[in-house]
Amino acid sequence: MQFANKQAIQTLPGNLLPIPLNPHFYLARRRFPAPAIRMRMVGLTGGIACGKSTISNLFKSEGLPVVDADVVARDVVRKGTGGWKKVVKAFGNDILLENGEIDRARLGQIVFTYPTKRQLLNRLLAPYISFGIFWEVLKLWIKGSKVIILDIPLLFEAKMDRRTSPIIVVWVDPETQVSRLTARDGISVEEARNKINAQMALDLKRKKADITIDNSGTIEETRLQFQKVLSQINGPLTWKEYALSRDGFLWILASAIVGALAVHKSLT
């Protein structure tokens, strides 16, 4: 695990389409404002086949809530949703399966071949993705969660690093990344490298991160690093983080009411 100073505060996700299209730029467009009230929002990201999902699942096993941008992206294009209607209207019924759901492989082939189609898809789904993540965060705030994990594969590309702290990058060495990707997807080394090169360089992400988890070794080694990260994540909230949490907000509100009543009483 490595710690670094933070230097800077495409796709429908891979689970939705088989290619990187750039979906998480949606939040950066700000069609829906980010919630002004929040808690500690930890950014979790990495490269393809680096094991980010492993870390995400470890957080879940420790009881920390995780907002998965890929899950949100899938939900907004389910049959009958507003996102589904927009996509079908723009791309036609040829992209539908027999059950009416979107054929992700077919749509992926189209937007990979035609960049203008990819841009169109991004524009259509931007507000739905943005609102979906906003809604998940808001629900957790209402529940009183003080720490949440935002699992966003393209965190930096989407400029969401500005809204998360600390930022965790799951890293592996280049050889391991290629090896895992070819084994996972059943593709050639050349195809794997093309997929990897389509994303921001993993070493650049590591430089931008606050925390780096090296997932090149065994799962036991990764777990040891994770436990150290967990201790840091679960540390006391800063005053700003507490003030923006639900409990902090209610405490400030109650204090303001008591103060106002005291002033009113002194003036009467």
Give the DSSP per-residue string, the chain: -EE--------S-TTTSSS----TTHHHH-SSPPPSS--EEEEEEE-TTS-HHHHHHHHHHTT--EEEHHHHHHHTTSTTSHHHHHHHHHH-GGGB-TTSSB-HHHHHHHHHH-HHHHHHHHHHHHHHHHHHHHHHHHHHHHHT-SEEEEE-TTTTTTTGGGG-SSEEEEE--HHHHHHHHHHHHT--HHHHHHHHHTS--HHHHHHH-SEEEE-SS-HHHHHHHHHHHHHHHTSPPPHHHHHHSHHHHHHHHHHHHHHHHHHHHHH-
Q: Is residue 111 part of a domain?
A: yes
The answer to whether position 144 is within a domain reads yes
- pLDDT of 178: 96
* 8 Å CB contact between 90 and 31: no
Task: Check residue 228 and give its pLDDT.
Answer: 95
The count of domains in the chain is 1
Determine, yes or no, domain membership for 179: yes
> pLDDT per residue over 169-183, tens digit each?
999 999 999 999 999
- Answering whether pTM is above 0.95, one says no
Does a structural domain hold residue 126?
A: yes
Whether residue 92 is contained in a domain is answered as yes
Q: Is residue 88 part of a domain?
A: yes
Q: Low-confidence residues of the chain, pLDDT below 50?
A: 2-37
Residue 186 lies in a domain: yes
Query: Residue 7 is part of a domain; what is its CATH number?
Result: 3.40.50.300
Question: What pLDDT is attached to residue 211?
Answer: 96
In a domain, 241, yes or no: no
Domain that holds residue 164: 2-235
pLDDT at 195: 81
Confidence (pLDDT) at 18: 34
CA angle, residues 88, 94, 98, in degrees to nearest 5: 95
